Amino acid sequence: MLEVTTKQFKRCDLVKATGRVDSNTAPQLAEVFNAINDAGRFKLVFDMSEVEYISSAGLRVMINIQKTCKRWNRGEMVLAGVPERVYGALNLAGFVPLFSIYDDAVEAVGTF
């Protein structure tokens, strides 16, 4: 239902999710992000281009990770390739001002 892949770059980590992020799969996404944070890495690109669907469970994961990354100015999670419907959900939840959003992962990785 959800596949999460990661790629470590020199200046940031890229996390790509493919599929549905709902209450069933959100913990799986949180685990991946937490592992990166636990390794002391707080500059993240979340590639959402293959996310078909996200519920508030997924949005909660995103907000928690953003809080962790931004603490003490040590980093940030930026979003890339946000599909229109997913953007709609982010917008409805008032999340758009809380994240920098880039067209694609390459552009987002380049900002770090």
Options 30, 51, 59, 108; binder of another protein; rule CB under 8 A = 59
Q: From 8-16, 32-40, 41-49, 87-95, give the range in contact with another protein by CB under 8 A.
A: 87-95
**Least distance to another protein, CB of residue 56, Å:** 4
Tokens describing residue 66: 């953003």
Residue-wise DSSP of 17-56: EEEEESTTTHHHHHHHHHHHHHTT--EEEEEEEEEEEE-H
**Least distance to another protein, CB of residue 95, Å:** 8
Torsional sign, CA 25, 42, 98, 100: negative
For the chain, the C-alpha Rg in angstroms (whole number) is 12
Residues found near another protein in the complex (CB under 8 A):
1, 20, 22-24, 53, 55-57, 59-60, 63-64, 66-67, 70, 85, 88-89, 92-94, 98
